[in-house]
Chains A and B, each alone.
Chain A
Amino acid sequence: MEWAVFIVFAVAAVAGAGGVVLARKPVHAALSLVMTLFSVAVFFVLQGAHFLAAVQVIVYAGAIVILFLFVIMLLGIDKEDVLDEPLPAQRPLAIAVGVALFAGLLLVAGILQPTGAPSARGSATQGDIANVERVARSLFTDFLWPFEITSALLVIAVVGAIVLARRGGPSTTLGDEPEVREAPRHVGAGSDEGPQAVLEHES
């Protein structure tokens, strides 16, 4: 039974990954990505990582792919990708690099065996404690300080995203906002010179 589930979702994962690379439209690539992410979540369940499987579906397949789709729809760049390649040798070379990487990974995995001292942080499977409780115990004892730092990382990411995506970009200060909003009237909506150039025109 476990083998059947593994084979079905392994095929689905690789097919979804191929779809991300081969799809002409970004929307199709995003939907293929959902298939791969869901298959990886199934692998997590098969290996007993129930908490991570739930987080994978909620955060990745939910939030992150929706964010991708949101940007695709918002910007309206769902047109087919340009196919002409400016560097003639890039595509075969890229595939050669990928195949060599895969062969190298298999070679290293075949030669080396994973070893290590018995875990001091607790077992992943032994005993009858639920997976969520194991992860929580480890996270809030051994990894408490990294966990706190991730909250700072998220705040920094949110602030960075707001600064970058604000109209006018990072170079505009708050006081300039009304002037920038007025400016397109004089130059025309089709101008792509940006608000900074518009300000220079006026002064």
Chain B
Amino acid sequence: MSVPGSYYLTVAAMLFCIGAIGLLVRRNALVMFMCVELMLNAVNLTFVTFARMLDDIGGQVFVFFTLVVAAAEVVVGLALIVSIFRRRQGATADDVSLLRG
């Protein structure tokens, strides 16, 4: 007896919304990044679930591309955080409210 896809979709929706709340509530740039990863993962779970429900391998291939984009995003984002942290002693979102170095 296999678990219906709607249950996976519900869990994915919960993960996505928790990630969105965390992104809005937290102010540490690193934790905000982790929340973005959480949302990306929720969408990956949705892709895999629909790949099974619609019986299409394209969903799983798309998750592969999402993983690559997420990896690139993390690398550039963490480099940005490191370079912000060098300039000023803190990595919260409020520290970078000005558009100058």
Contact = CB atoms under 8 A, between A and B. Distances in A.
Interface in B50-93: 50-61, 63-65, 67-76, 78-83, 85-92
B2 A2 contact: yes
Contact of B59 (A6, A37, A124): A124
Interface residues of B, number: 77
A168 B11 CA distance: 44
A14 B18 contact: yes
A199 interface: no
B1 A2 contact: yes
A97 B25 CA distance: 11
Nearest to A101: B17
A23 B31 CA distance: 9
Contacts of A114: 50, 53-54
Nearest to A197: B101
Contact of B11 (A23, A43, A98): A43
A6 B55 contact: no
Nearest to B44: A40
A138 B61 contact: yes
Given A6-B7, A98-B24, A75 B55 contact: no
Interface of B: 1-3, 6-11, 13-22, 24-28, 30-31, 33-35, 37-38, 41, 44-45, 48-61, 63-65, 67-76, 78-83, 85-92, 94, 101
14 contacts: A21-B35, A33-B38, A44-B45, A47-B49, A49-B63, A52-B48, A68-B33, A68-B74, A71-B82, A77-B85, A98-B18, A134-B57, A194-B87, A194-B101
Interface of A: 2-3, 6, 10, 13-14, 17-18, 20-21, 23, 26, 29-30, 33, 36-37, 40, 43-44, 46-49, 51-52, 55-56, 59-60, 63-64, 67-68, 71-72, 74-75, 77, 81-82, 86, 90-91, 93-95, 97-99, 101-102, 105-106, 109, 114, 116, 119, 121-126, 131, 134-135, 138-139, 142-143, 146, 150, 153-154, 156-158, 160-162, 164-165, 167, 169, 192, 194, 196
